[in-house]
Chain A
């Protein structure tokens, strides 16, 4: 009843091919964005902004990156956190070594560095597939983190390995409160999500999906495997790199290799599994879920008076069980549930 497309006629190809062809979706998205930009920064507590919303957006960006690689191009990766680390450290170095460099440019350059590392470690994907590739992406994870702890030039010679991230200042305007950081992160993430959505709808995205579905067949119909796979690695790592830079600058406030552990890679993998593999919306839903779940579990555990060690073990178990549950019941994740809900709403209140 509320979600009906009757009367919405498409008279041009542009109208037919837009991202959200149904008016209600457009309105809903704009309303969400408006609330996120205009209302949330003023009503939400600083804790909520800095401990939930900012990490949610950053993880969503990283999940988006991994989703491009794994969900769209079909290359399973366990090294996401490494690309994030490269982005963070590269951004830090650019700001540190080139004073006066605009910080957004530094983020972009950090992303580009991550993209280059991504291409280097994506090269084996031309020869190896599936599990062999997944296992070898672990090489990225361990190697990058090792480099960052052992090579002093990368960390500005800091003895402790923990570096304070520079302040985010854009055109003389300091993004130092949770509200401002949140708005900045939100804008970057929204822009990059829009870019990603358009990318996967285009020629590039279609060739990624062809490679994912069957790479031999894709090659036969004239898709250049090498270029397509490496492009997927590059774009994905770029997204992860920017996410990593934001993670360090806007969330943690420090740049340290330990923050980018294998555990983080797994969490981001879980986000895309639970959210939906091969879905832009799914990256956001999955990130929200994984960020909120520990918070919710903590509240429950606190309410029941469980000791923290039990709570943290329960968290592991719930994570694991949920992964299995989603893979069995809904392999396409929350995004698919959302889609089913919309289809049901379209018919509601009539069953046919």
Chain B
């Protein structure tokens, strides 16, 4: 039974990490209707830039992080200016494909600026089991994962406040509904998009640092985006809580499936199990767990 709980908790905590990436997606989709396939590339770019600052320029971590935030904000501004502004009011599919192009561009750029080796990233949080939990329940829970979960929680709270309580948040939601209508009522679309991509860049940095500290900063980070997709499908593209709940469900079920079903079918089912789970779920509820119901009219 202990083993089951260990797997479950490990899964839930890694689900939090997926959710962290998924939040970046949701942020941009909810606020601009752009399905940002480049989020994984942004995670990679952010993590690699941060490590690059530390390795190449000898910056300490506390300096490298703000420097990377500045870089991500600049990147967000550039994306808005170069990619999004000419595509205002284009079909969603066009914007989606543009972000695929963006993903490739960022992957190339990141590896061109810094190099394509695997970098070590050391955060001041240790990846050791929490002693108190180990003593009381005899379950291994990593301190690192718990910290990541806490960071994720704070981020979600901040975003929830941003969307629900601020003027910018209201503008963001208006832009998501209809670019042109938002422009017509005087919402500065360009500024909103720039803010949004900058915030998404910062979210990508958080995810990149946590994932990078865990697995090393390397190209494989971009595949995290692929892990975040089923989370999104499950939770709904427009819901931050959905991303969290989806992340938890995907993380837990994926690990449990790998441990309990995997051996029966040859293992390695982690790659597709979340997708199939999400797909089956979609057949029941096509807009995801917390997604907005879509009403179609002619």
User: Contact between B98 and A323 (Cβ–Cβ < 8 Å)?
Assistant: yes
User: Contact between B94 and A327 (Cβ–Cβ < 8 Å)?
Assistant: yes
| Interface assignment of B128: CB less than 8 Å from any CB of chain A | no
Stretch of B68-76, B99-107, B168-176 on the interface side: B99-107
User: Contact between B298 and A216 (Cβ–Cβ < 8 Å)?
Assistant: yes
| Interface assignment of B86: CB less than 8 Å from any CB of chain A | yes
Total interface residues in chain A, CB < 8 Å: 44
Residue of A nearest to B291 (CB): A132
Q: Complex Cα distance A128/B287, Å?
A: 8
- A124-B283, A135-B230, A217-B298 known; A319+B104 contact, CB < 8 A: yes
User: Contact between B233 and A132 (Cβ–Cβ < 8 Å)?
Assistant: yes
Q: Complex Cα distance A129/B35, Å?
A: 13
Q: Complex Cα distance A76/B86, Å?
A: 22
Residue of A nearest to B276 (CB): A139
Most chain B Cβ neighbours within 10 Å, of A124, A216, A324, A328: A324
Stretch of B51-59, B108-116, B179-187 on the interface side: B108-116
Q: How large is the interface on B (under 10, 10 to 19, 20 to 34, 35 or more residues)?
A: 35 or more
State the Cβ distance, B93 to closest chain A Cβ, in Å: 6
User: Contact between B282 and A150 (Cβ–Cβ < 8 Å)?
Assistant: no
- B245-293: which residues lie under 8 A (CB-CB) from chain A? 265-269, 271-272, 275-276, 278-279, 282-283, 286-288
State the Cβ distance, A143 to closest chain B Cβ, in Å: 4
User: Contact between A322 and B101 (Cβ–Cβ < 8 Å)?
Assistant: yes
- List chain B residues, Cβ under 8 A from A124: 279, 282-283
User: Contact between B112 and A310 (Cβ–Cβ < 8 Å)?
Assistant: yes
| Interface assignment of B163: CB less than 8 Å from any CB of chain A | no
User: Contact between B275 and A143 (Cβ–Cβ < 8 Å)?
Assistant: yes
Residue of B nearest to A273 (CB): B97
Q: Complex Cα distance A131/B96, Å?
A: 8
State the Cβ distance, A345 to closest chain B Cβ, in Å: 29
| Interface assignment of B296: CB less than 8 Å from any CB of chain A | yes
- List chain A residues, Cβ under 8 A from B266: 150-151
User: Contact between A142 and B271 (Cβ–Cβ < 8 Å)?
Assistant: yes
| Interface assignment of B83: CB less than 8 Å from any CB of chain A | yes
- List chain A residues, Cβ under 8 A from B82: 324
Mask: chain B, 66-94; 1 = CB below 8 Å from A; 0 = not: 00000000000000001100110010111
Supply 14 A–B pairs (Cβ within 8 Å), ascending by A.
A136-B278, A139-B278, A142-B271, A146-B269, A146-B272, A150-B267, A269-B97, A310-B112, A319-B101, A319-B104, A320-B103, A324-B82, A324-B102, A324-B105
